[in-house]
Amino acid sequence: MNQWDGSDERERPSGFGGDWRGSRPTFDDPMSWSVRFFTIAGVTVRIHLFFFAFVLVMLATASGRGPNAWLGMQPTLLGLAALFTVVLLHEFGHVIACRAKGGTADEILIWPLGGLATCNPPERHDAHFWTAVGGPLVNVVFIAVLTPTVGLLYGEWWGTAIPNPLGLSRMLQSEEISTWWEMLLVLGNFVSWALLLFNLIPMYPLDGGRILQAVLWKRKGRTRSLRIACQSGLIGAVVVGVLALIANETMLLGIALFGGLVSFATRRQLDAERDFLGFEPDASEIAEIDEELGYRARDASGGLAGRVETKGESRGESPAQAKARATESAREAELDRILDKIARTGIESLSAKERETLQRATDEKRNRNG
């Protein structure tokens, strides 16, 4: 994926976690409004300014409820601590999984709707699958430790040890939670469950939507699987949004709006790529284009198997004909390289020169077809 190198012609990165990474704060780009918190193992953790605003609003609201309220200052502070810790480690799960599959990952953004890890896994379905699964696996580890502990401590499994994601208020009002460490234990368990369940909703760009795309990738191709994930994301956004309105959950509504907007924007981008190219930029369709240009299909690794020799290329040519054939072969080889790049990393990875070459070839093909 593209990395921003600070040049005048900036290529905004578009990694696993979004296109905010590496961008300087600008007024017209809210996703860039963040500050560096710390760096560990080559991963920079940044905090979005909206997250600071979210914390201040939560604390101000809690201070007006009194010290003994079920969502007073102490529960709010402990809940924010549990939320930050679980979300941060969830995102580190994505980072570790991405690196384990040979990808790069070096930045995490914490914002009011959770976290965004910038991961650039290799363009293979298995690498994207494990990168997406890495975050939820961290929640599973938390749950494996905290849920049995809470269940044995209070003797109540359903509703407490295995919480209702929308039932936090009832749980915190329990008289059995008497100390701060018990409350932190219960809140950590609750956040782990809630984050796991919401992220596994098959709604792009949540982990569930990305897992769905990775599972479909091998059979449907990168672009078609992403299109299906976006369609699932739009449906999921409507369902989650309705549930959020019924339950009066503002954060859940924000997640639904975010997922719906990203799914819609990604689908529009895929439509624009298809309209620009005249075909779906997937390996299967690009192989057909290669054959029309005189190339054999790609091998299993995605590389070129070599150009097919056509009649009259090796003998009986004048110097001018040989030069013209060499020029055409070079042009076709460059076009094939560009198509191969699209199949592996998407059209957004092309440089301005590559886009110009592709546009010229596309126009020529359309003119030939009338």
pLDDT class of 365 with cuts at 50, 70, 90: low
Same structural domain, 289 and 159 = no
**Confidence at residue 203, expressed as pLDDT on a 0 to 100 scale:** 86
Same structural domain, 183 and 326 = no
Residue 177 has pLDDT above 60, yes or no: yes
Tokens 């299967």 locate to 284
For 324-352, write each residue's pLDDT tens digit. 666 766 777 777 677 766 666 666 667 77
Q: Confirm whether 227 is domain-assigned.
A: no
Residue 106 contacts residue 43 (beta carbons within 8 Å): yes
Same structural domain, 155 and 290 = no
Q: Confirm whether 241 is domain-assigned.
A: no
Cα angle 315, 321, 325 (rounded to 5 degrees) comes to 90
Mean pLDDT of 146-174: 78
Examine the fold and report which residue of 200, 228, 260 is the final residue of a domain before the chain moves on.
Answer: 200
Same structural domain, 166 and 298 = no
Same structural domain, 192 and 333 = no
Answer yes or no: pTM beyond 0.85: no
Q: Confirm whether 106 is domain-assigned.
A: yes
- Rounded CA-CA distance 324/330 in Å is 10
Same structural domain, 177 and 294 = no
Mean pLDDT of 163-168: 72
Same structural domain, 21 and 152 = yes
Mean pLDDT of 13-36: 56
For 41-50, write each residue's pLDDT tens digit. 899 999 988 8
Mean pLDDT of 54-74: 73
Q: Report DSSP letters for 268-320, one per residue.
A: HHHHHHHHHHSS--SHHHHHHHHHHHTBPPP-TTS----BPPPTTSSSS--HH
**Confidence at residue 301, expressed as pLDDT on a 0 to 100 scale:** 40
* Candidate from 139-143, 272-276, 366-370 with smallest mean pLDDT: 366-370
Examine the fold and report which residue of 177, 200, 223 is the final residue of a domain before the chain moves on.
Answer: 200
125-154 and 207-220 helices, crossing angle to 10°:
140
Residue 237 contacts residue 113 (beta carbons within 8 Å): no
Domain span at residue 297 reads: 283-302+320-368
Same structural domain, 194 and 297 = no
- When divided into structural domains, the chain yields a total of 2
Same structural domain, 69 and 164 = yes
Q: Confirm whether 6 is domain-assigned.
A: no
Same structural domain, 23 and 130 = yes
Same structural domain, 25 and 145 = yes
Residue 33 has pLDDT above 60, yes or no: yes
Show Cβ contacts of residue 68 under 8 Å, excluding neighbours closer than 6 positions: none
- How many residues are listed for the chain in this entry? 370
Q: Confirm whether 313 is domain-assigned.
A: no
* Candidate from 109-118, 196-205, 313-322, 325-334 with smallest mean pLDDT: 313-322
For 89-131, write each residue's pLDDT tens digit. 999 999 999 999 999 998 999 988 788 898 989 888 899 999 9
Q: Confirm whether 287 is domain-assigned.
A: yes
**Confidence at residue 10, expressed as pLDDT on a 0 to 100 scale:** 36
pLDDT class of 300 with cuts at 50, 70, 90: very low
The partner residues of 18 in beta bridges, in order of sequence, read 15
Examine the fold and report which residue of 200, 217, 252 is the final residue of a domain before the chain moves on.
Answer: 200
**Confidence at residue 156, expressed as pLDDT on a 0 to 100 scale:** 78
